[in-house]
Each structure stands twice: as C-alpha cells, then as structure tokens.
A and B are shown apart, each in its own frame.
Chain A
Amino acid sequence: MAITERPSSLPPAAPTPPWHRRSVRNQLFQGAYLIATALVIVYVINALNLREFGFGFLGDPAGFAVPNQWLIDYDGVTNSRFVMYLVAIWASIRVMLVAIAFATIIGVLVGVARLSSNWLLARMAMLFVEIFRNTPLLVQIVLWYAILIVAIPPIGEVFNIGNAYYLSNRGIAIPWPVPDPGWWNAANWLVWVWVALLAAAGGAAWWVRRGRIARERDTGQPHYPNRWAFSLFAVAALVTFIALGAPVSIDKPIIEGTHYLEGMIITPEFAALVLGLSAYTASFIAEIVRAGIQALPTGQSEAANAIGLTGYQRLTVIILPQALRQIIPSITNQYLNINKNSSLASAVLFADLFFVAGVFQNKTGRALEMFVLIIVTYMLISLLISAVMNVINARVTTHRV
C-alpha cells in the first residue's frame, strides 16, 4: 500500500530482530514455561520417591473398628482396609444426602421468607442467614456437637416416649421398618407377584398421567398429571403390599444396659454434622433463592396478581419455575460444598471417609497414596452430584412456562 511505502531517499531499514516477532516471543515463553513445569514435576517425583507407590496395603486387614453404618455390617479386624474405606464412604454419603435435603428445604423456605411482606418473618430469615453464613462452619459443627452431648441427658436418664422413642446423648432411637428376611427372598413366589403388580401399577400410572397431560393441553384446566400418577402408584403399592401379608415388622428400639438395640439410631455425631452442614449451606441457598426470585421482572408478580392467583399459586406456578433457572446452577455449587465440607466430620468424632483415610495413613505411613485416594473419592462424588444436577437443570430450562 502506498502509505507504508518508504521514500527512496532514506537508507534501507535494519532487519527486525527475531525476538521482536510476536510468534517467536510466544514460543520462547511457552518453551520456558514447559521446562519450568517439567522441572517442578521432576522435583516432586523425586521428593516423593514414587518407587514404593502402590495400593496393595488396602487389601490388608484394617485392624481397628469404626461404628457400624446403617445397612452395613462388617468387622474391622478381619475385613480389609478397602472394605472399611467403602463403609466410610457410605457414612459420608449418608451425611451428604441428609444435609443436602435439609439445606434445600430450609434454604428455600428462608429465602422465600426473606421476601415476605411480614416484617417479623423477613427479619428472622435475615437473622438466620447472617448468623449462619458469617461464622466458620467448623465452629458451628463443634458448637452443635457440644450442645448435643452436654444438653441431652446421658443414657442413664434417657427420655423415653412410650418405650418406642428414646433420646439420650447416645443418640435418638426411633422405630424403623425392617423387612422380614423370610419373606424377602427370591425363592418366594409372592415376591414376584408383588413385583408384577408393581409393574402393572406403574404402567397404569403412566397411562393416567398421559391422559391427564392431554386433557390439560386440550382444556387449559389443571389436571395435575404427576400428582395423580404418583398417588395412584403409591396407593396401589401399599394395598397390594398389605394384601400379600405386609412382610415388614416395625423394629422398636430397646435399651439394654447402656446401649440401644434395634430401631434406627441417629448418633449425636451424625446429628451435629448434619445440623452444621444444613444450617450453614441453607443460609447460602436462601440468598441464592432470594436473588433468583428478585431477578425476575416485577411484571411477572403483577401479572399473577392481576389474573387473581393466590400468593401460594403466584409462588409455585409463576415465580419459582422461572426462578429455578437462575437458582439451580448456583445451588449445585452449594451441594458440591456440602460434599467437601463433610470432611470436617472428624472434628465431632464422626468416622467419615476422611477420618478413616487419616487413620490408614497414620498406621501405614502411606500419606501420598491416601491423599490421592481421598482426592479421587471426593472428586468422583462431586462429579456425580454435578451430573445429577445437570440433568435436573436441563429439565428445568426446557420446561414449558
């Protein structure tokens, strides 16, 4: 182009040095970065002395015990460390599932309450959020535990409600249904009859749901397809179950000496951990819910009011379905935090996977292997939670409004 053409009277330009070219500079920087990274890796590999790296020690007997977990019976003396680790993972997952359920329910309620026109309710919700999200989770969990084991009477002075419900610092014991092992086995033809009946009920429920969806579409009136389908299935399952002899006994807890037998036992350690995780996470979820609702244009609420919906209908039919699109990705992060924060369990003597892995490390000196295992385990659980939440998210975002 004419504008870049040099006047012939000037001397010829000196050649540009190669490092003035951007592509050369970029390669130099990248090369230096790669070499530095490689050197760090070399250093770490050397320092760790990976020649002994291996997971064979997980096959050896654990040699110690942790409290038995619901649905799993094992003994630490003969079972391998690997089995014990699985038991500990199950303990962690139970905490996570219960904490996720509680945190979601409390979080949504508090988040909605913060926007309430009731001054007292809104302020109480605000107080909840500010207290629980502004103090360290570890402190909260330890405080819950201290409250639980100090305030609740020892087993000698147990609260006994009708010889069925007990409360002491050994935990809460409540009756729990236990399937009759004599009935529940594959050789019993009645089991297969029930399975067949359940399948039939499921098919019927699906058919009813489809019909109601069609009618809803045709008439514009609500016909509650999911509610009907679910109720139908539940009633059918229950009726056929009772008709076939109801092979479930209710296990009432009893006290023998200083411990509970039978029933469902919720230990103070489990309770403190779940309370701490739920309240802490709920305070964040409440803010996410509030933000999600407030992000909607006010026209949505006004329109709902204009067509005469009640406050409850406005929330469940207009506001929440739209707000959920904003809310779910952020709530997923909170669920992942519950997963990671559950590793604070050992502060309240709860034998979760981090606690058990720590004992293994201490007993075998296999720090590196155990940390690799811990990281992989938490990562897998996180990815699992993310996968489930992505499915839910996809359903919500394609929901017809």
Chain B
Amino acid sequence: MTRLKYLRRTALLGLAAIIGALALVACSDDAQQQQVADAGDVPSATLAAVEERGELLCGVKQTQPLFGFREEDGSVVGFDIEFCKAIAAAVGDDIDVRYIDASDAATRFTLLASAQIDVLIRTTTITASRDADLKVDFAQTTFFTGQGFAVHADSGISSTADMNGATICVQTGTTTEQNLADHFTDLGYSYTPLGGTSPEIQEAFLQRRCDVFTADQSDLASRVSNFDNPANYRVLGQIISKEPLAPGVRDNDSEWKDVVNWVVHGLIAAEEMGITSGNVGAMAANPPNTTVARLLGVAFEGGEVANLGFGVDPQFIQRAIAAVGNYGEIYARTVGDAVPRACTLNALAIDDSVDCPAGTGGIQYAMPYR
C-alpha cells in the first residue's frame, strides 16, 4: 500500500471514530435529561447511601475550637460535631460517623458537590448566592452569629471607625471577606486584606502582621479563649453582618435535606419541651402529651404512632436526642460560657453596641413538629 493511501485510510478511520463519539454524546445527553426528569420520584440517594454504607460522611472543620476541632489524641470535638452524631443516630442506631476534614473554606462546597461528604456541618453561613451557584441546600440554622472583629487589647481600636488603613486578616473564600469589602466601601475607608486559611491568618494576627482579625464573632470568641493570654486580645462588640450557620446538603435531594432539617428542629424542640438525653427514655415510655409523643415517634395513650414520612422511621428524633441530648445540652457541653448564649441569639440587633442582654429568648426556636 502506498504511504498516501495508508494515511487516507487512517484519517477516515479517525473521522468515523469522532463521529461515533459525538453520536454517543448526543445519546447520553438524552439519557441524562431523562434521568433529571425522573429525579422527583426517586428516593433520596444520600439517605440510601448512608444506610447502605452504615456510615455518615460528615464534612467538619477541625481547626476551630468549640465548633469543630481536632484534639491531640485525634478525636474531633465541638458544637458542629454533635450534630453529625445526631444525624447519624437519627438515620439508625448502627450508623457510625466518619469525619471528613473540610477545614479549608475554599474547598468545602466541592467536597459536598462531589459527594465526598453527605452533609457539611462546618460553621457555614446561609447565603443566596451559595444556594444558587454552589449546588448546596441549607437546613435549619444551628447557630446564629454575626461577623465581628478581634484586636490586640493595646491597639486602641474599638470599632471599625478606628480601622481606616488597617491591615485586616480574613479567611479566604468566606462570606466574611465579602462583608468586609462591603462594610469598608460603605465607610469610605481603605484597608489591606490579608487572606488565607484560618490557622494561617490566626498566626499572622498573633505576630501582629495584621491589626485586626475578622471572622464570625462566635469563632473569634472561641479562638481568643484558646490563645496563650486571652487578656491581651479583645473581641469587639460590633457586628457587621448576619451569619446564620447551618448544615448544608446537596441540591435536589429534598428527602435527605428534610431529615437533616428536622433533626435540628427536633433537638431545639426537645429543649423547649424539656426532653433531655437523661429523660428521653422515660418520656418515650410515658409521654406527657401528644406533642412530645409525636416528636419522639411513640404512641400517646394507646393511639397511633404519627409517621410524618421522612424516609426514616418515626423514632429518628428520639434516637438523636438519646445520642447527644437537646440543643441546650449540646450548647452547654461544647460552646459553654466561651460564647454566652444570649449573645448568639441576638444577632438581629446589628448596631455598634450589642450587649447581649440575658434571657432575651432570642431568635432560635423550632418549627412546629406536626
């Protein structure tokens, strides 16, 4: 065969292969669209995956004391961690939790979108753009806070009014970064941002590379309480934004979102009804009223068990309470006095001097479980 003929035949073969490939793309596109159309009817992929795996893949932060922190012995502890345990217990008694490190704010949503985690519980703020762009759905808020500022006590800074020209440490890829830019634009001030991961910017702040450390106020309070000399630092009272922190799940999996959502509501409701990890057994055996019976998924005085149909059995909230206790117990055990609870409930009062009046009741309450 001559060289030319040989080349021509090879080229033809190549062309045929490419045309075949394109045809395949077209076909599988149709198949994919079909799949999307059917998605409404299929049961939750995530819930089924968790049940089959026997393990909940919980994306958590491991660098923030009180919320999600890896201890020296390798265990992960904190406020967010308790909700991982609660959700796993709600799915089933035999479900273990595997903590996946989602400490890097910049990659947390990628972990969720690529199904490397089932749920993201990592001090993540609900925002519209995240909901729209990042293939994430948010469940009920677990923690209300706002963006605050920590400074060195001897810096003489008492609010953002003193921060013109300041160098400000801010965690990259967070809502904080954007609030900061907006706030300083409104003030007409200039500033130099120093962005990085939270351990990096914390070190920069301690070395006075930046004047101010900005983050969620609850985050700052917990960090400062862990510094060598907490008295040398001050968390300002000022809050410049609302930061409702909530668990995130993948878009378009409403059944799984419902489970996560109602576990959070259930734990808050349990506190409102006085159900604790200590008395949940007794309450389930002998519920004082229909509301408690419905929440715990048990029959009231020989009646029917109300099954609201979340794809899990009706006792799922009962199991969650038995595992970690109610919302108040979780708060007291993990965050405790480091962030007074009244303050966390007060984030709607955005002004220069939120002084956290005790016993205001706040904005955290459970949606009715009925």
Which of A's residues lie within 8 Å of B, judged by CB?
23, 27, 30-31, 34-35, 37-39, 41-42, 45-46, 63-68, 75-78, 149-150, 154-156, 169-170, 256-259, 261, 268-269, 346, 349, 351, 355, 358-359, 361-365, 367
Contacts and interface: CB of A to CB of B under 8 A. Distances in A.
A34 B14 contact: yes
A288 B105 CA distance: 41
Contacts of A31: 13, 17
Nearest to A36: B17
Q: Which of B17, B155, B180 has the most CB of A within 10 A?
A: B17
B49 interface: no
Given A156-B208, A362-B109, A23 B1 contact: yes
Interface majority SS (helix, strand, loop, mixed), chain A: helix
Contacts of A259: 165-167, 192
A170 B191 contact: no
B32 A154 contact: no
A365 B113 CA distance: 9
B195 A30 contact: no
Contact of B209 (A30, A66, A149, A346): A149
B133 A170 contact: no
Interface stretch (B50-58, B196-204, B351-359): B196-204
Q: Which of B10, B164, B172, B180 has the most CB of A within 10 A?
A: B172
Contacts of B200: 349
Contacts, number: 127
Contacts of A46: 25, 28-29, 32
B106 interface: yes
B129 A363 contact: yes
B311 interface: no
A261 B134 CA distance: 39
Interface string B123-144: 0000001000111000000000
B339 to A, nearest CB: 26
Interface of B: 1, 6, 9-10, 13-14, 17-18, 20-21, 24-25, 28-29, 32, 105-107, 109-110, 113, 129, 133-135, 155, 164-167, 172-173, 177-178, 180-182, 184-185, 191-196, 200-201, 203-204, 207-209, 211
A359 B195 CA distance: 10
Q: What 8 pairs across the A-B complex have the smallest Cβ distances?
A: A38-B21, A154-B208, A362-B173, A34-B17, A64-B177, A349-B196, A259-B165, A365-B134
Contacts of A349: 194-196, 200-201, 204
Q: Which of A66, A155, A355 has the most CB of B within 10 A?
A: A66
Contacts of B194: 67, 269, 349
29 contacts: A23-B1, A23-B6, A30-B10, A34-B18, A42-B21, A46-B28, A65-B184, A65-B191, A68-B192, A77-B181, A154-B207, A256-B165, A257-B164, A258-B165, A258-B166, A259-B165, A259-B166, A346-B172, A349-B194, A349-B195, A355-B172, A355-B195, A358-B173, A359-B106, A359-B177, A362-B105, A362-B106, A362-B173, A364-B134
Contacts of B184: 65
A3 to B, nearest CB: 25
Contacts of A154: 207-209
A365 B107 CA distance: 10
Nearest to B154: A156
Given A149-B207, A169-B208, A45 B107 contact: no
Contact of B20 (A27, A38, A261, A361): A38
A256 to B, nearest CB: 6
A38 B22 CA distance: 9
A23 B173 CA distance: 56
A363 B204 CA distance: 24
Given A30-B13, A349-B200, A358-B106, 18 more contacts: A39-B24, A42-B21, A64-B177, A65-B184, A77-B181, A149-B207, A156-B208, A170-B167, A257-B164, A258-B166, A259-B165, A349-B195, A355-B172, A355-B195, A362-B105, A362-B173, A363-B133, A367-B110
